[in-house]
Structure 1
Amino acid sequence: MRRTAHSRILAVARLLIAVVAALAVGFVVYFAWAGRRATSVEAGIPQALADERASRIRDLTYEASFDIPATRSEPIHGSVTARFTLNEIAAPLVFDFAQAAEKFLGATVNGQTTSEVTSRNGHLIVPANLLVPGQPNEVTLTFIAGDEALNRQDEFLYTLFVPARASLAMPVFDQPNLKARWVLSLDIPDGWTAVANGATTGQIRLNNRTRLIFAKTEPLPTYLFAFAAGKFLIETGERDGRQFRMLHRETDAAKVARNRDAIFDLHHTALRWLEDYTAIPYPFGKFDFVAIPSFQFGGMEHAGAVFYNASSMFLDETATQNQRLGRASLIAHETAHMWFGDLVTMQWFNDVWMKEVFANFMAAKIVNPSFPEVNHDLRFLYLHYPAAYEVDRTAGANPIRQSLGNLNEAGSLYGAIIYQKAPIVMRQLELLLGADAFRDGLREYLKAHAMANATWPDLIRVLDARTPADLVAWSRAWVEERGRPQVTMDVKPDTAGGVTVALQVGDALAAQSGSGRVLVWPQTLRVVLGHRAHAVHVDVTLGDSGRAAFSQAPFPGEGGGAPTDVRWVLPTGGGLGYGDFVLPSAMLDALATDLPAIVDPLTRGAALVTMWDSMLEGRIPAARVRDALMVALPLERDELNVARQMGYLQSLFWRFSSAGERMALAPALETLLRDGLTRAATISLKSAWFSAVRSTATTPETIAWLRRVWNREEKIPGLLLSENDETDLALDLALRGAADAERMLDTQEARITNPDRKARFAFVRPAVAESAATREALFERFKDVANRRREAWVLEAMGYLHHPIRAGAARHLIVPALQMVREIRDTGDIFFPKRWADAALGGHRSPEAAADVRAYLDSLPTDYPERLRWVLLASADPLFRAATIVR
Structure 2
Amino acid sequence: MGVRSLTQAEAQERAALLRVERYDVAVDFTGLPDGPDVRCVSTSTFSCTEPGAGTFVDCAATVVCATLNGTDLPPAVEGRIALHDLAAHNTLRVQTVQSDTTHGPGVHKAVDPFDGEVYVWTSFEPDEARFVWACFDQPDLKAPHAFTVTAPAGWTVTSNAGTARVEACDGARRWVFPDTPPLSPYNTVVNAGPFHEVRQEVDGHDLGLYVRRSLAGVLERDAQEILTLTAQGLAFYARAFAMPFPQRRYDQVFVPEFGGAMENYGCVTWSDTFLRRSDPTPAERELLAKVLLHEMAHMWFGNIVTMRWWDDLWLNEAFAEFACHWAATRATAYTDAWAGHLAGGKLKAYLADQGPASHPIRQPVHDVAEAAAVFDDITYPKGASVLQQLMTYVGEETFSAGMSDYFARHAWGNTTLQDLVDALGRASGRDLDAWRAGWLDAAGPDRLTLRHESGGVVLHAVGPSGSAPRPHVLAVGAYRRTATGLERAARVTVEVRGPRTPVDLPAGADLYLVNDDDLTFATVRPDPASRDALLRHAADLPGALSRGVAVATVWDMLVTGEATAAEAARAIGAVLETETCDAAVEPYLTLAGDIAELWAPQDERAELTAAFAATCRRLADRARHPARRRVALRFLARAAAGGELERLRAEAEAGDDHDLRWRALARAVELGEAAVADAARLLAADPDPDAWVQELCVRAGAPDAGTKEAVWHVLADERAVPVSWVGRVATAFWRPGQDAVLRPFTRRYLDLVPGLDRGGMIPAMVYTGRLLPRFAIDGGFLDQVLEAAEAAPPVVRKTLTEHTDVTRRMLRSRGITKPDAT
Give the alignment's TM-score, normalised by structure 2: 0.91
Out of 538, 556, 570, the position equivalent to 2:513 is: 570
Give the secondary structure class of the aligned counterpart of 2:174. Answer: strand
Aligned length: 800
- Looking at structure 1, the residues matched to 393 and 36 of structure 2 have their Cα atoms a distance apart, in angstroms, of 57
User: CA contact under 8 A between 1:731 and 1:768: conserved in structure 2?
Assistant: yes
The answer to whether 1:308 aligns with 2:270 is yes
SS in 2 for 1:693: helix
What residue is the counterpart of 1:341 in the other structure? 302
- The equivalent residue for 1:544 is 497
* Pairing partner for 1:164 from 127, 136, 145: 127
Residues in 1 aligned to 2:727 and 2:344: alpha-carbon distance in whole angstroms: 22
- Counterpart amino acid of 1:828? G
| Equivalent AA in structure 2 for residue 474 of structure 1 | W
**Residue number in structure 2 paired with 1:502:** 458
Alpha-carbon shift at residue 872 of structure 1 (Å): 2.1
Cα distance in 2 for partners of 1:799, 1:215 equals 45
Shift of 1:166: 0.7
Equivalent positions of 1:13-162 (< 5 A) are 43-68=4-29, 69-99=31-61, 103-110=62-69, 112-114=70-72, 116-128=73-85, 131-133=86-88, 136-146=89-99, 147=101, 148=104, 149-154=106-111, 155-162=118-125
Partner of 2:115: none
Distance 1:601 1:620, change over 3 A: same
Q: After TM superposition, give the deviation of residue 782 of structure 1 in Å.
A: 5.2
Aligned equivalent of 1:490: 451
> Is 1:261 aligned to 2:196, yes or no?
no
Distance 1:434 1:475 in 2: 16
Whether the 8 Å contact between 2:669 and 2:699 is mirrored in structure 1 is no
Counterpart of 2:363 (choices 399, 402, 422) is 402
How do residues 169-568 of structure 1 correspond to structure 2 at under 5 angstroms? 169-251=132-214, 254-297=217-260, 299-314=261-276, 316-317=278-279, 319-369=280-330, 371-372=332-333, 374-467=335-428, 469-492=430-453, 500-508=456-464, 510=465, 518-532=467-481, 533-554=486-507, 565-568=508-511
- 1:234-271, Cα deviation, whole Å (9 max, x unpaired): 11111133211211115355533321111111111111
SS in 2 for 1:288: strand
**1:157, CA displacement in angstroms?**
0.7
Q: CA deviation at 1:52?
A: 1.6
Find out whether 1:745 has 2:679 as its counterpart: yes
CA distance in 1 between counterparts of 2:599 and 2:110 reads 41
Query: Alignment partner of 2:37: what SS?
Result: coil
Are the structure 2 counterparts of residues 207 and 439 from structure 1 closer, same or farther at C-alpha, using a change threshold of 3 Å? same
Q: Is the 8 A contact 1:177 1:345 kept in 2?
A: yes
Letter in 1 for 2:38: I
| Distance (whole Å) between structure 2 residues aligned to residue 804 and residue 523 of structure 1 | 42
Gap runs ≥5 in structure 2? 112-117, 816-822
Q: How far off is 1:765 after superposition? A: 5.8
Q: More deviation in 175-184 or 651-660?
A: 651-660
Corresponding position of 2:770: 839
Equivalent-residue separation in structure 2 for 1:309 and 1:203 (angstroms): 26
Query: CA 1:242/1:551 → structure 2, altered by over 3 Å: closer, same or farther?
Result: closer
| 1:510-534 deviation line (CA, Å, top 9, x unaligned) | 36xxxxxx44211112112334324
Amino acid in structure 2 at the alignment position of 1:708: A
Cα separation, partners in 2 of 1:644 and 1:189, compared to 1, 3 Å: closer
Instruction: Tell me the amino acid that sits aligned with residue 753 of structure 1.
Output: P
- Say if 1:730 and 1:252 are closer, same or farther in 2 by CA, change over 3 A: farther
Compute the displacement of 1:185 (Å).
1.5
On the 8 A contact 1:414/1:831 being kept in 2, the answer is: no
Q: CA deviation at 1:425?
A: 0.7
Q: CA deviation at 1:860?
A: 5.2
Distance 1:870 1:76 in 2: 32
Q: Distance in 1 between matches of 2:395 and 2:273?
A: 38
Task: Give the 3 Å change call, closer, same or farther, for CA 769–815 of structure 1 in structure 2.
Answer: same
User: Are residues 633 and 488 of structure 1, via their aligned partners in 2, closer, same or farther at CA, if it must alter by over 3 Å?
Assistant: closer
| Alpha-carbon separation, structure 1, partners of 2:389 and 2:759 | 34
After superposition, residues 717-756 of structure 1 pair within 5 angstroms as 720-739=655-674, 741-755=675-689
Distance 1:188 1:523, change over 3 A: same
Change (3 A) 1:312 1:181: same
1:372 deviation in Å? 4.9
Partner of 1:797: 729
CA contact (8 A) 2:22 2:144 kept: yes
> What's the CA shift for 1:601?
3.0
Distance 1:610 1:473 in 2: 27
The separation in 1 between residues aligned to 2:5 and 2:596, in whole angstroms, is 45
Q: 1:623 pairs with 542, 545, 566, which one?
A: 566
Q: 2:706 aligns with which of 756, 773, 777?
A: 773
Q: Contact 2:449–2:527 at 8 Å: present in 1 too?
A: no
- Code of the aligned partner of 2:96: F
Runs (5+) with no aligned partner, structure 1? 1-39, 495-499, 512-517, 555-564
Amino acid at match of 1:600: G
CA distance in 2, matches of 1:633, 1:199: 46
Name the aligned partner's letter for residue 406 of structure 1: D
User: Retained in 2: the 8 A contact 1:572–1:607?
Assistant: no
Distance (Å, rounded) in 2 between the aligned partners of 1:818 and 1:834? 16
Q: Which moved more, 1:118-127 or 1:484-493?
A: 484-493
- Once the two structures are overlaid, the 10-residue window that deviates more, 851-860 or 254-263, is 851-860
**1:836 maps to amino acid:** Y
SS in 1 for 2:110: coil
Post-superposition CA distance 1:65-107 (Å, at most 9, x none): 12221435342222111111111134323011124xxx21112
- 1:610 paired with 2:553, answer yes
Query: C-alpha root-mean-square deviation of aligned residues, in Å?
Result: 2.7
Q: Which residue of 2 aligns with 1:810?
A: 742
Matched residue type, 2:531:
L
Report SS of the residue matched to 1:161.
coil
**Partner of residue 619, structure 2:** 676
Instruction: Note the C-alpha offset of 1:671.
Output: 3.1
Q: 1:810 to 1:833 in 2, by over 3 A?
A: farther
| Higher mean C-alpha deviation, range 213-222 or range 88-97 | 88-97
Give the TM-score normalised by structure 1: 0.85
Cα deviation digits, residues 289-335 of structure 1 (max 9, x gap): 211134201x2111121111223245633x22211211211111111
Post-superposition Cα deviations, 1:113-167, rounded to whole Å, max 9, x if no partner, equal 52x3331111111222xx312xx31111111125322111231110011110111
Partner of 1:338, secondary structure, is helix
Counterparts of 1:632-711 in structure 2, within 5 Å, are: 632-697=575-640, 699-710=641-652
CA–CA separation in structure 2 for the residues paired with 1:638 and 1:663: 29
CA-CA distance at 1:210 after TM superposition: 1.6
Matched with 1:31 is none
| Alignment-derived partner of residue 6 in structure 1 | none
- Please tell me whether the aligned partners of residues 529 and 536 of structure 1 are also in contact (alpha carbons under 8 angstroms): yes
Structure whose CA Rg is larger: 1
CA distance in 1: counterparts of 2:397 and 2:574, whole angstroms? 43
Paired with 2:611 and 2:565, the residues of 1 have a C-alpha distance of 17
**Alpha-carbon distance in 1 for matches of 2:349, 2:418:** 24
The equivalent residue for 2:786 is 857
Q: Which amino acid aligns with 1:611?
A: V
Amino acid at match of 2:461: V
Q: 1:867 to 1:504 in 2, by over 3 A?
A: farther
> Do the aligned partners of residues 385 and 758 (structure 1) sit closer, same or farther apart at CA in structure 2, a change above 3 Å counting?
closer
Provide, for residues 383-419 of structure 1, a one-character-per-residue CA deviation record: whole Å limited to 9, x for no partner.
4421211211212212211211111232111011111
Q: Distance in 2 between matches of 1:707 and 1:304?
A: 44
Distance across 1 between alignment mates of 2:119 and 2:789: 40
